[in-house]
Amino acid sequence: MKMFRFVFSLASALLVLALSMGTVSAVEFRCEGEYPHHLQGFASDGESIFWSFTSVLMKSDLNGKRLIQIDVPSHHGDCCVADGKLYVATHLNWPNEDQSAWIYIYDCKDLTLLEKISIPELDTVGLDGISFHDGFFYLCCGKVVEDPTPFCRVFKMTKDFQVVDRRHVPGRTVYGIQAFAWANGSFWLGTYGKEGTIQCDADLKVVGKHKIDASVGVYELPPSENGEPRLMIATHRRENGEANRNWALARSAVLKDGQLVWEDQAKQ
């Protein structure tokens, strides 16, 4: 069977540029535009970045310049790219009683909606983070604030979203795992609250926790000039504190001495 795989990644594209320049520099830029709701996640196919702003889906170039923007049902959550398609973890009607979990699938070229797939296993618990690794999707359950459960549930699914395994990741998180990505040989789980960003191995066993907040988006970058793992991490902003004027900042981080630190600070 032909392996279901990622398209050419941002890591590859930037690594070629980095090698030609002889170095990899820290990156920071603002996503163009303001949006009614906050960022839920972002991903890249190596040529563009895809931003999920809850009720708006936006495609930008690699510097955050807006290329395409569409309105989408709320709420569109975290996203990932696989095989030229953008997969968005979507929880409709949240937090009402008739809420339902779906994967919305878009064409990376023009954001045409290709398919919607129901995920009934997550209807009542919520759907937040999504990642793709080694031929499988990983979907993260949400949690209500009052939930005392000392772990987060992750569903491992086939490419047609059939459940093959269920995993528990230790951590008393707020709202569960919000953003999720496989990058640099680890899973990176962005959460709200004191758990911060949880780093796991391929079996979803915790190998580290980090203070940098990756709850609204994270994806892979090529290694630093010292060979250290690097990530692009999004942070949420509100213009003048106004709830309907949301935007995002993307900033590179590096894993240095076992801890994620902002790359510009690591160089100081």
Residue whose C-alpha is closest to residue 14's, from 5, 1, 23, 6: 23
Residue whose C-alpha is closest to residue 181's, from 127, 132, 241: 132
Q: Is the pLDDT of residue 76 over 70?
A: yes
Q: Is the pLDDT of residue 205 over 90?
A: yes
Q: Which domain holds residue 39?
A: 10-266
Q: What is the pLDDT of the chain when averaged over all its residues?
A: 89
Burial classification of residue 159, based on how many CB atoms lie within 10 Å of its CB (0-12 exposed, 13-18 middle, 19 or more buried) = middle
Eight-class DSSP state of 35: B
pLDDT for position 7: 35
Residue in the block written with tokens 């809420």: 99
Question: Which tokens is 255 given?
Answer: 């894993």
pLDDT for position 95: 67
For the chain, the domain total comes to 1
Q: Which amino acid is at 174?
A: V
Q: Is residue 5 assigned to a domain?
A: no
Q: Is the pLDDT of residue 178 over 90?
A: yes
Q: Is residue 1 assigned to a domain?
A: no
Burial classification of residue 96, based on how many CB atoms lie within 10 Å of its CB (0-12 exposed, 13-18 middle, 19 or more buried) = exposed
Any bridge partners for residue 232, and if so which?
219, 252
Q: Is residue 94 assigned to a domain?
A: yes
Read off φ and ψ for residue 244, nearest 5 degrees.
-100, 15
Count, in order, helices (H) and strands (E) of the chain: 2, 20
227 and 234 Cβ atoms separated by less than 8 Å: no
What do you get for the CA distance between the two ends of the chain, in Å? 49
What is each CA distance from 211 to 167, 191, 208, 224, 230, in whole angstroms? Answer: 23, 10, 10, 20, 15
pLDDT for position 5: 39
Q: Is residue 123 assigned to a domain?
A: yes
Q: Is residue 4 assigned to a domain?
A: no
pLDDT tier at 12 (50, 70, 90 boundaries)? very low
Q: Is residue 62 assigned to a domain?
A: yes
pLDDT tens digit sequence for 114-148: 999 999 999 888 898 999 999 999 999 888 877 88
14 and 24 Cβ atoms separated by less than 8 Å: yes
Average pLDDT over residues 37-56: 97
Read off φ and ψ for residue 233, nearest 5 degrees.
-125, 135
Average pLDDT over residues 68-93: 96
164 and 119 Cβ atoms separated by less than 8 Å: no
Distance of CA 33 to the CA centre of its chain: 19
Average pLDDT over residues 1-28: 47
Q: Is residue 3 assigned to a domain?
A: no
Q: Is residue 21 assigned to a domain?
A: yes
What percent of the chain stands above pLDDT 90? Answer: 73
State the CATH number of the domain containing residue 82.
2.120.10.10
Burial classification of residue 173, based on how many CB atoms lie within 10 Å of its CB (0-12 exposed, 13-18 middle, 19 or more buried) = buried
